[in-house]
Structure 1
Amino acid sequence: MQLRKTHPPSENPPTSTPDTHSAVLVVDVANLMGSRPNGWWRDRAGAATTILAQLSSLAGSTVFFAPVGFVTLVRIIAVIEGAAKAAKPSEGVEIIKAPQDGDSSIVEMTENVMHTITEDPTPTTAEKPTHGAPGEPAHEPPGHPVPLCCLVVTADRGLRKRLPPGTFTAGPSWLNALLDPYLTDAPSDDASASSLSQSRKRPPPR
């Protein structure tokens, strides 16, 4: 299993390899997209397709997340909205096409995951989930690995406040560092969130 790590100065991972925790990663794709100054607004579906393909490389990987330590991503959920819903799927990534706003779908998915953790915190044998209709959460069949924590990637402060207690959060810069080291010089999480908020109201000039 490949080990991937982040390298912020204050969060250097330990040199030893301790026990890992299982985790579900929920990604606010629109927010992550807005953190990348790569012209994503010209082709939102294409930009989302790129992100989904990159997320696929993380499926089943062990990564370092400072508040918890090493976590194995047993499930990756990507929430997409608007024009990005035309993105092409990637193996190992569950796609949720938000029927309305992406934030509400992220909250709903996170609540479902946290309920699973509360009901049974003991991991079980892995089995692929069955997917519902676009915009509907995937159903966990018997044997699906039960996560020990849920990590939501978003810089949206309003969304973070709506997440259920016990949810861990990380900004886009943390995930960008895992997916593409060249993106570590992108705008800060707060700046990217503000930029995306403005872009949703008014597309950038051509």
Structure 2
Amino acid sequence: MDSRPLLIVDGANVVGSRPDGWWRDRAGAAARLRDALAPLADRGLPPELPPPVEVVLVVEGAAREVPGVAGVHTVPAPGSGDDAIVALVRDAADRRRLVVTSDRELRDRVAALGAELHGPRWLREHTHPTP
């Protein structure tokens, strides 16, 4: 059993939370987010989330081909990114799970499964460079 907390990031939602031109290169924006998340695996997000942390970035659409890197596992959603996130939360019921999204419907779905919730701003405060 893995005792590390599981940080699941709704890639499309977090990337889309900042109007920085991400729509011109969705895969590039997802890759930048992935790279900003990588240090969190070893560093955690003190004080809320001490290390080590398993970091999962759920990607969909044009960003589906973005590969994982050391510290960040990418999950290409075969359909809905929200459904993939719910499945990850459900499959890790014995672990602490934190989901980063501002999607209200998704927040309700994963909260019902016992996940903790944070928005993109919370994540940006802990990542450098900012996604």
Map of 1:62-73 to 2, 5 A cutoff?
62-64=44-46, 69-73=48-52
3-state secondary structure, aligned to 2:18: coil
Overall identity of the aligned pairs, in %: 40
Secondary structure at 1:159 match in 2: helix
Contact 2:90 2:113 in 1 (8 A): no
Say how many residue pairs are matched: 128
Q: CA RMSD in A?
A: 1.9
Q: 1:100-111 residue pairs with structure 2 within 5 A?
A: 100-111=79-90
Are 1:44 and 2:26 matched, yes or no?
yes
- Flag as ranges the 4+ runs of structure 1 deviating above 6 A: none
Q: Unpaired runs of 5+ in structure 2? A: none
Decide whether aligned partners of structure 1 residues 99 and 179 sit closer, same or farther in structure 2, where only a CA change above 3 A counts: same
SS at match of 1:63: coil
Normalising by the residue count of structure 1, what TM-score does the alignment of the two structures yield? Answer: 0.57
Aligned to 2:124: 176
Q: How far, CA to CA, are the matches of 2:98 and 2:80 in structure 1?
A: 20
Q: Quick check: 1:24–1:73 contact (8 Å CA) kept in 2?
A: no
Question: Residues 28-43 of structure 1 correspond to what in structure 2 (within 5 A)?
Answer: 28-43=10-25
How much does 1:113 deviate?
Answer: 1.2
Larger RCO: 1 or 2 (CA < 8 Å, sep 6+): 2
Q: Which residue of 2 aligns with 1:165?
A: 113
Q: Distance in 2 between matches of 1:113 and 1:160?
A: 16
Between Structure 1 and Structure 2, whose CA radius of gyration is higher? 1
Q: Normalising by the residue count of structure 2, what TM-score does the alignment of the two structures yield? A: 0.88
What amino acid is the match of 2:115? Answer: T
Structure 1 position 90, deviation (Å): 1.7
- The 1:160–1:73 alpha-carbon spacing in structure 2 relative to 1, beyond 3 Å, is farther
Q: Which residue of 2 aligns with 1:76?
A: 55
What secondary structure, in the 3-state scheme, does the structure 2 residue paired with 1:110 have?
helix
Separation in 2 of the partners of 1:181 and 1:46? 14
- Whole-Å Cα distance in 2 between the matches of residues 70 and 104 of structure 1? 24
1:153 to 83, 97, 100: 100
Q: Determine the structure 1 residue equivalent to 2:7.
A: 25
CA distance in 2, matches of 1:59, 1:182: 16
Distance (Å, rounded) in 1 between the aligned partners of 2:24 and 2:33: 15
